[in-house]
Each structure stands twice: as C-alpha cells, then as structure tokens.
Amino acid sequence: MKLCGAAILIECLIEQGTETIFGFPGGAVLPIYDELYKRSDRIGHVLTAHEQHAGHAADGYARVTGKTGVCLATSGPGATNLVTAIATAYMDSTPVVFITGNVPQSLMGTDSFQEADISGITMPITKHNYMVTDVRKLADTIREAFFIAANGRPGPVLVDIPKDVQIAETEYVPATGDALIPALSASHPMMQLRPVGAALERYKLRVEPYVAQAAELVEKAERPLIYFGGGVILSGAERELAELASRIDAPAVSSLMGLGALSEESARMLGMLGMHGTHAANIAMQRCDLLIAVGVRFSDRALGNADTFAPNAKVLHIDIDRAEINKNVTTTLHITGDAKTVLDLLLPRLEKKEHPIWMRQAQSMAEEYLSNDLFEPRKILKAMSELAPAITVATDVGQHQMWTAQHFPFIRPRQLVTSGGLGTMGFGLGAAMGAARALGEPVVLVTGDGSFRMNLTELSTIAYYQFPVIVVVFNNGTLGMVRQWQTLFFGKRYSQTTLDRGPDFMKLADAYGIRGARVSNEQDFRRVFAEALELKVPYLIECMLDIDEMVAPMVAPGSPIDSFCLN
Amino acid sequence: MDKNVRNRYTVGVLVSNEPGVLSRVSGLFSRRGFNIESLAVGPTQDQTISRITIVVLGNDSSIEQLVQQLYKLICVRKVRVYDPANTVERQLVMIKVAANASDREGLMRLVEIFKAKVVDVTRESLTLTITGDVEKVSAMVELMQDFGITEIVRTGTVALQRGNQIMNSEIFDL
C-alpha cells in the first residue's frame, strides 16, 4: 500500500504498540499531525504547554511502564526545547523515541525559518539518532529506533524527519513480530544489544567461568554488601535481587535510581547510599569486605571520594554496559550482562549463608529521629506513605527530592520517578503526567517552590486532561538545596536563592481550575491528601515549610562517604 | 595507576560508512576529554565500512574506557588498540621548501637519506613527499626547517598489524 512518510510514521508507531504520543505541533510536523488526526482511533496524543514537558512526560510514561515513550515536536525551537528532556532520559537510561520534523531538504543548510541541526545538537545526549533523507528508509529507521531505545542499556533515540520526507510517498509493508527487529547480521553492534537464541547461549557459555569466580568471592566473603541501582529495575531483576540478599544473608544499599528494587520494608535494606545516604548504608559501605554491585554506575553522588570508597572491599560489578566497568571504581571481577540474566546464572551456584554478626552491625547503624512538633518534610512523606504506600511518586530536583528518597519507603520497582543523573529541575510535572496517563491512577508529584516554577505552566495540561496528579509543593521560599550549600560552604551568603516573590499558588490553582489547599500542619496535610486520593483529580497542596530546613545526613562532595558534615 | 601518565596510543576503528560517523567518533573523543593527536579516515575494501585511525594520548585505563565508549556508538563495528611492536605505522607529509640552485644539492642528499620524493621543482622551491613513522617524518621536517619551509601538510597516522592479523568487523572479540 502506498503511503506518505507521515502516514508511514504513524503506522510504524502503531506497529510498536504506542498508545500515546506526547507532543506539540508546528510547521514542520503538520503532515504528521494531519495523519494523527486521521488515525486518532488507534493512537492518542497529549498536547502539553511546552515541548520540554512533553519530553519529560514521555520519559515518565516509560519509567512507570517499562515501555518505550514517544515524543513529537516540530523543527527548530520545538526540537531544541526537547534537549533537556533528551539529556534527562539519557542520563537515567530511559527508552524514549523522540521524533522531530525538520525543514524540507531543499532548504536545509540555508538557515531557513525554524531550522536547527537537531541530530547534530543531540548527538552527545542520545543513544543514537537519525536524520531520514529518503522516505523508503523511514519505516526501517523507526523500527531500528525503537529497537535501540529499548534493548541493551536503554536510552533515548531521536529521529529527525524533514518535511519533504513526510510528504513523499512510498510502498509501506506492515511488520509484526520478528519483522520489527532490524534485519542485520549477528555481528552488527545493534544486534548485540539483545542476545537471543543461539547468541544468548554463547553468551552464557562465555561468562560461565566468571560466574564461577563470582560465586567463589561470595563464598569467601565475611561481610558482603549488595549495592543495587536502576539497572535492576530496567532488567526486571527485583525478585533475583531479593533472592540474592536472602540467600547470602547480606545487607543491601541502593542508589537513588535503584530505590524500590528491594522493598524498604525488608530488614536487609539499609537505605540509599551517597551524599544524602543513610548512616547505615554509608558506614556499611566502608566496612564491607565484598561489594556486589548490580546495575549501578558508581555515580560521584553515590561514591563521595572514589579513592577512599569501600576501602576494605573486593568489588564484583554486574552491569549491562561494559563502559561502566572500571570507569569510576576499579573492580576485582566484573560480569557484563543483563542483571536478571547474570543473577539467574549466579544464584544456583551460591550456597545458603548466614552472617548474623555483620547483619546486626549493619542494621545497628540506622539513625534515630527525635520527635518534635514542627511541620517537617519527613512527617509529610511519612503521612503520604501511610495513606498511599504503593502510590507512584514523581519528584523534581532539590531538597524535596532527597527528602523523598530518604523518608518515603519505596516498596516496589518503578514507584519512584526522579531525575537522578542529570538532576533536572522542572522534570517532575511532565513526568508525573506521563505516569498518570500510563497508569490511569493517582500519582503524587513532590516538588519544591523553585522547581515548580519551572514547570507550573503544565497545570493547564493536567487540568485539561484531568490527570489525577497530586502536586505537593514543599514551599520554603528558597532554592533550598542551593541555600543549604550556601549555608555550609559559602558563609551564609544567600546569593540569588531567596524566592520572596509570587505567585500565590492557591490563586494559580484557581486560575487553572484545579483544587488547591495550603497546609502548615500534619493533620491538615493528611486530611487534604486523603481527599485528593479519594477524588482522583488534579490537586495542588502547598506545604509551608521553614526556610532553613536542611537535608541530613550529608557528606560534603568529594569527602569519604562515612564522614558526615551534617547529621 | 598514575592518572597523569600519558602515552601515545594508536587506535583503529571500523565504522559503518554513513553520514555523520566521523563527527560521532570525534565528538566522543572531545566529550570524554581525549585529545586527538592525529586522525585519518578512508573507505575499506568493503564499501559499507570505513576505517578510522586515531592517535591519542592516555593511559591504559583511560584507553580501556575509550574503547568501551566507542563500542557504545551504534556505528562502530570494531575497535583495536594496536600493539606498537606488532604494527606498521605510516604518515605522509608534503613539504614545500624555499630552495634555489645552491641549496638544491644539500637538499637532494637529505632526500636520498630519508627516501623522500621530489614531486615538484621550480627555480625558488622544491616540493617533497615523505612517508614513514612519526619519528622519521618529524626528523625530516626538522632538517627541512634549515632551508625554510614555506608550506607543509601532514596526514594522520595510518596503521596495520603485521603478519596475518586482521581487523574484521564480522569476527567477535570475545
């Protein structure tokens, strides 16, 4: 059947099972939007207020479902507005396909209206990108883009489609099942992203000796510690992780991106590691004699000082990305591969072990909180988790994000949606609406007054679509995390961090036609939050907090991970 | 390992022959903080594959990281860090030297010693080409400075492994 490029694109998205596109129209994607209009029975679209948040929404959608998110924007400014969203997805390994229109090829390179070299711009922040110059290659390019985004270590892929390619016609041959997988030789790097069948068997044979060595390391360890990250969630290896922890009787710590992969209700879970990690996690790291790192990349925020990190430990590193091995921490032994595949090979080789003394030591280092009457972030998060323990929580970036990581006990994978690697203020509301669209149930966004200013324009989107996003703004009238650093490291010179200005968030909620409540005690918060959960509508809850509230514990950047500068 | 140690490595990269490949590869070098000393690129006997040869400064662990990062590029098919003992490396340089009749005899003697070639002669100038490894080429260039170099152009280093060893994108390095 002969179709134009724009129609082929839509058919290819339907082939991939795409239910929703997050996007914003413009001149260079008019043919695509026209086809979308005709195919609205098969594929939905969420119109955001700004392309960046469409990108974050596609990212949030992917994070909560594990499916590949799709985002669509026009050329030039539409495309450049995606840059932050693409970099965010790249740093956190989220599968998102970004589609941009571009000016017709006849105008390309002439600085024509709304022209930008988006494939050049996004080269360093995409897993791969394409500019389609021939409509006959379009369908296979889209299929490759989805394959690359989702396989191996996931990541964003951008496909730039000039307008003339959208209009040109060619024969479209529908594909399903195996035909969706690029037809390339087994040696092609793209195919090595997903070893299946014979290739998988070859892989298993190849790593077997290393798995045996790993089992030996575990056997000899007296104080093993598991350090897990987002790779476990991406791989769906949470059951294997729990089995590993219980089989070898080891405590476990998490990176920010790993939270929820092992339930925080587990006695073995010591909490998050790193700059704002728990005492128990950070101290256990310095005392363990074997570190079993699964699906982590040893980020500087988790390591503190790389040279003094886990000084007594041998390091066994399991990661799908070979480039993460020996990048920040030198390993004793590594196994490159998908976390679930590798753990499935390792577990049968492990004897049941018991480390009662080590477990007791590790658990005994947990901090205790003093009770008081103040309205504190910790109490809000505790109340939230009591009222909705399994709710999906999105965050922005800053103090509220770290408080959420510390005080909301995550009990399942994909429960926390946060910008860990890039640390993108303004990520949250878009991500939350993508999550709400995917799940069809309430999602809470914990944000700060600083971050919220960066995305509050999207209140119009959650209002229009009635996404059940409960926006909880921690309003302390400052860019709190920066203020905290100014307090600690810059002599309390609060340069450009005080937000002593509007808007009035309650009036804002009113203007967008959504419910709002301002609370300054725990009791009121509980009442309003319960109401929001019940109503399943957009809701804005503003929590009035003290400007000098700090995130503790804290380790100064570059310091050993157990030397806390704030308790 | 001392992170400040800097050695010279020659890296061969087989890539898919498609638009943008060179900027993907060179962009990765600059983004990860590697300085390219020289770069040479050209097609291979397989029309779908190009070969890039890059000389870069680093240490063993930074080069390991570089290789693994290169493999993450979808366009990269094979990467090899050459072992200097088992590799033949060549550069080509063209030098235009100011040379009148009286200089010419001295120049010609050097041309002979270095097995260079004269490719163009005028009353005031002489243009030479010389191929060899970096050291030989550099030594020649230095001697030419005595005569006055008016123009110089140098290719990047290219390299092949000695003997029967080949780099083949169809064979896995496991």
pLDDT tens digits along A9-27: 999 999 999 999 999 999 9
E strand segments, A5-155: 20-23, 44-47, 69-73, 96-102, 128-131
Q: Is B111 helix (H, G, I), strand (E, B) or coil?
A: helix
Cβ-Cβ contacts under 8 Å, B169 against chain A: 187
E strand segments, A246-331: 252-254, 269-272, 290-294, 314-319
Residue in B68, B71, B76 to test binding to A, most A beta-carbons within 10 Å:
B68
pLDDT of residue B75: 93
Entry pTM = 0.96
Q: Does any CB of chain B come closer than 8 Å to the CB of residue A323?
A: yes
Read off φ and ψ for residue A340, nearest 5 degrees.
-65, -45
- For residue A249, the tally of other CB atoms under 10 A from its CB is 15
- For residue A80, the tally of other CB atoms under 10 A from its CB is 17
Per-residue pLDDT tens over the stretch A388-423: 999 999 999 999 999 999 999 999 999 999 999 999
- For residue B26, the tally of other CB atoms under 10 A from its CB is 16
- Residue in A123, A148, A326 closest to B27 by CB: A123
A128-131: strand order across its sheet:
A44-47, A20-23, A69-73, A96-102, A156-162, A128-131
Q: Does any CB of chain B come closer than 8 Å to the CB of residue A327?
A: yes
- Which CATH superfamily groups domain B88-158? ACT-like. Chain A, domain 2 (3.30.70.1150)
Domains defined along chain A, listed by start = 2-188 (3.40.50.970), 198-364 (3.40.50.1220), 377-548 (3.40.50.970)
The alpha carbon of residue A189 is apart from the nearest alpha carbon of chain B, in Å, by 6
Note whether B7-81 and B88-158 share their fold: yes
Distance, CA of A24 to CA of B152 (rounded, Å): 53
* Largest pairwise CA distance in chain B: 60
pLDDT of residue A373: 85
- Residue in B61, B77, B174 closest to A189 by CB: B77
Residue of A nearest to B76 (CA): A189
Per-residue pLDDT tens over the stretch A231-251: 999 999 999 999 999 999 999
Q: What is the mean pLDDT of chain B?
A: 91
The alpha carbon of residue B125 is apart from the nearest alpha carbon of chain A, in Å, by 41
Residue B3: band (very low, low, confident or very high) from pLDDT cuts 50, 70, 90? low
Q: Name the residues of A annotated as catalytic.
A: 51, 113-114, 163, 481
Domain boundaries in chain B? 7-81, 88-158
pLDDT of residue A193: 86
The complex's ipTM works out to 0.91
pLDDT of residue B171: 57
pLDDT of residue A154: 98
Q: Do B74 and A323 touch (CB under 8 A)?
A: no
Retrieve residue A261's tokens: 């992969």
Which among A93, A329, A364, A381 is positioned nearest to A232, based on CA atoms? A93
Q: Do B27 and A322 touch (CB under 8 A)?
A: no
Which among B42, B34, B23, B89 is positioned nearest to B61, based on CA atoms? B34
DSSP B83: P
Radius of gyration of chain A (CA): 24
Per-residue pLDDT tens over the stretch A81-102: 999 999 999 999 999 999 999 9
Q: Do A123 and B69 touch (CB under 8 A)?
A: no
Q: Do A148 and B74 touch (CB under 8 A)?
A: yes
The alpha carbon of residue B69 is apart from the nearest alpha carbon of chain A, in Å, by 6
- Residue in A123, A190, A323 closest to B69 by CB: A323
Taking phi over 0 as left and psi of -120 to 50 as alpha, with beta for the rest, A492 belongs to: left
Q: Is the bond preceding A503 in cis, omega lying within 30 degrees of 0?
A: yes
Residue of A nearest to B75 (CA): A189
Residue B174: band (very low, low, confident or very high) from pLDDT cuts 50, 70, 90? very low
CATH architecture, domain B7-81: 2-Layer Sandwich (3.30)
One digit per residue, the tens of pLDDT, for chain A of length 567 reads 999 999 999 999 999 999 999 999 999 999 999 999 999 999 999 999 999 999 999 999 999 999 999 999 999 999 999 999 999 999 999 999 999 999 999 999 999 999 999 999 999 999 999 999 999 999 999 999 999 999 999 999 999 999 999 999 999 999 998 889 888 877 788 888 888 888 899 999 999 999 999 999 999 999 999 999 999 999 999 999 999 999 999 999 999 999 999 999 999 999 999 999 999 999 999 999 999 999 999 999 999 999 999 999 999 999 999 999 999 999 999 999 999 999 999 999 999 999 999 999 999 988 888 788 899 999 999 999 999 999 999 999 999 999 999 999 999 999 999 999 999 999 999 999 999 999 999 999 999 999 999 999 999 999 999 999 999 999 999 999 999 999 999 999 999 999 999 899 999 999 999 999 999 999 999 999 999 999 999 999 999 999 999 999 999 999 999 999 988
Q: Is the pLDDT of residue B42 over 90?
A: yes
Q: Do B74 and A189 touch (CB under 8 A)?
A: yes
Residue-wise over B99-137: b if at least 16 C-beta within 10 A, else e?
beeebbeebeebbeebebeeeeeeeebbbbebbbebebb
Q: Is the bond preceding A553 in cis, omega lying within 30 degrees of 0?
A: yes
Distance, CA of A154 to CA of A567 (rounded, Å): 37
Per-residue pLDDT tens over the stretch A163-184: 999 999 999 999 998 889 888 8
pLDDT of residue B5: 74
Residue of B nearest to A132 (CA): B19
- Residue in A190, A321, A330 closest to B74 by CB: A190
